[in-house]
Amino acid sequence: MNIVTCIAPVNIAVIKYWGKRNEDLILPLNDSISATLSMDQMRATTTVMASPDFAEDKIWLNGKQEAFSTNIRLINCVREIKKRAKSNGGDGENKILDWHIHICSENNFPTAAGLASSAAGYACLVYALAQLYGVKGDISNLARQGSGSACRSVYGGFVQWHRGIEGDTEETRGSVAEQLVNEFHWPELRIVILVVNDVKKKTSSSIGMKRSMDTSELLKYRVQICVPRRVEAMKKAIAEKDFETFGEITIKDSNQFHAVCLDTYPPVVYMNEVSNSIIELVHSYNSFHGKMKVAYTFDAGPNACLFLMEENLNEMISLINYAFPFSHGDSYFRGLPLISGPAPQHICSSINIKPHSRDLLKYIIHTKLGPGPRQLGEQDDHLLNSAGEPV
C-alpha cells in the first residue's frame, strides 16, 4: 500500500517547553509535561502517498500548496524517518523509500487561532510516514525534529517530554516523549479553551524562545531550579489525581513562562487584556470557593486553556458567559455539550464580576483528554486522489 491517512491530536503543556539547547535537532532546555486533547474536537488529518510516477516531493497545507525544498524541518523529518525505516527493518528494502511523496494535511480548527497547530501537524505527518514505511517503535524523537512540542502529540493522556542527556548521537541523547497516564486515567477532568478575539500577529515560538535564550536571566533560573521540582510534583499530582496541586503548578508554570517572555529583551508579549481578565476571573472564583476549582494556562498567544472538574463546568461557563457576553450564538460553543444557565448572582456580587464589553471571546471549545494518533481505514478518508492531487 502506498497511501496512508492518519489523524493526530493537539496537546497543551502544563509544564512549558521554552528554549532549545540544540536548534537543529530541537533538543529542549528542560523537560515538559502536557495533556493530549481529544481528536473528536480538534485534530490534524494527513495523507501521505508515495509513487514512482511523482516527479518531486509536494505538500499541501490547509488547501494551499507550500514549498517543500526550502522547508528544513519538513525535510529533516522525512529524511530521519526514511533512515529509521532502513535501519529498523521496516520496509527497508522496499523501493518505496526511493519514490517521491505527496503530503496533504489539514486541521479541523483555525490555524490562526494559535492552537498548537504545528504540534498536531508534525505528529500526524511523522505518524503517517511511519505507517507508510512500516516503521515500528517510538517515533516521538522524529516528530520532535518537526516541532518540539509535536513529540508530545504522539501519545495520548498526559505525556512527559524528557530533555534527554548530552551525547553525540541521536540515540544517546534520549530526548523522547513518554506517556505518564492514558486518557482514561482522569475521566472527570475537562478542558475548556477560550479563543480570544485578537488580530495582532504574534512572534513565533521559535523566534521568541531563541530571544529568551539569548537574553533572559530568569529563564536560567527556571530551567535549573523551578522546572525539575515542578516536573516531579506534577507527575505525582497527575498520578494521584490531586487537582489542587495540579492546578497550582499549571498556573504557576504558565505565569513563569510569560514572565520569562517579559524578561526577554526586547520583551515578547503573548497575553493581552482579555487574557488578564480571564486570569482575574479564575483566581476570584477559586478564592470564592476557598480551593482550586479551575486552573489556566496560556501558550504563545492570548487564548486561555482551562482545566477543571466536570462538576464545576456549568457554574464556570455561566460565569464566563456573564463576564464575557457574546452576540452570535451560532458555533460559539464547540465540542462537547455545554449547559449554561444564568450566572449565580451570589458569586458575581461576592467576587465583583462585571460584564466586559461584548465579543471579546471568539468562541469556546469544550474537550477532554484523548488518545494518540491513529490511522484511518476508509478509501474516502484520503485527502489525495489516485493521481496524488488534493481531493
Binding interface with ligand DP6 (CB under 6 A): 13, 16-17, 26, 32, 118-119, 147-149, 205-206, 299-300
CB of residue 11 to ligand DP6, shortest distance in Å: 7
Q: Which is nearer to ligand DP6, 260 or 360 (CB)?
A: 260
CB of residue 82 to ligand DP6, shortest distance in Å: 21
| Cell reading at 9 | 491530536
Q: How far apart are CA 316 and CA 324, in angstroms?
A: 12
| Cell reading at 312 | 464545576
Question: Beta-strand (E) ranges in the chain?
Answer: 3-9, 11-15, 20-22, 27-28, 32-36, 43-51, 58-61, 64-66, 100-107, 158-161, 177-181, 189-196, 294-298, 304-309, 333-335, 361-368, 374-376
CB of residue 237 to ligand DP6, shortest distance in Å: 18
CB of residue 147 to ligand DP6, shortest distance in Å: 3
CB of residue 382 to ligand DP6, shortest distance in Å: 27
Of 69, 80, 56, 63, nearest to 129 by C-alpha is: 80
Q: Which is nearer to ligand DP6, 32 or 321 (CB)?
A: 32
Contacting residues for 343 by C-beta, under 8 A, at least 6 apart: 318, 319, 321, 322, 353
| Cell reading at 152 | 508530545
CB of residue 61 to ligand DP6, shortest distance in Å: 15
Q: Which residue is nearest to ligand DP6 (CB)?
A: 148
Q: Which is nearer to ligand DP6, 198 or 299 (CB)?
A: 299
Give CA 260 to chain center in angstroms: 20
Q: Which is nearer to ligand DP6, 47 or 153 (CB)?
A: 153
Q: Which is nearer to ligand DP6, 85 or 119 (CB)?
A: 119
Q: Which is nearer to ligand DP6, 59 or 384 (CB)?
A: 59
| Cell reading at 259 | 514572565
